[in-house]
Amino acid sequence: MVTGSGRGGIGRDIAVQLARLGGARVVVNVKKRQEDGKETLNMVLGYSDGILVQADVSRRDGGARTLVRETLDAFGQVHILVNNAGLGIGAPFLDADDALIDKMVSTNLMSAVYCSQEFARVMQPGGAA
């Protein structure tokens, strides 16, 4: 499971390399538009099995729990979680309002907390989050 892996960048590279080098069955995650993840999923499928899951990981309900449920439904188990989802919004520090700060904290911090907690509950011994 690689959060934030739908579009190009580090998440896509991690997802594809897990499939290519380790034969991992990979869950590609996008926040909103599934179209963003189809290219990544197709790259993964060139090496191994994979699925695409749309879920906003900055939320526990409807986000992290959705990922866990759909991962288990597809593959029956999980061994690896890569918390890659992140948001970089360029704004001068003094201009960042509360809404922007909340969005960054929920995406960059809370997504990792929620996903780590939810996946750790179902992860096989020896798994890594």
Instruction: For residue 128, tell me if it sits in a domain.
Output: no
- Please give the residue range of the domain that contains residue 27: 10-120
Give the CATH number, domain containing residue 93: 3.40.50.720
* Residue pLDDT, tens place only, 15-46: 999 999 988 999 999 998 788 899 999 999 99
Total domains, the chain: 1
| pTM for the whole structure | 0.90
Return the amino acid letter for 83: N
* Residue pLDDT, tens place only, 64-108: 999 999 999 999 999 999 999 999 887 888 999 999 999 999 999
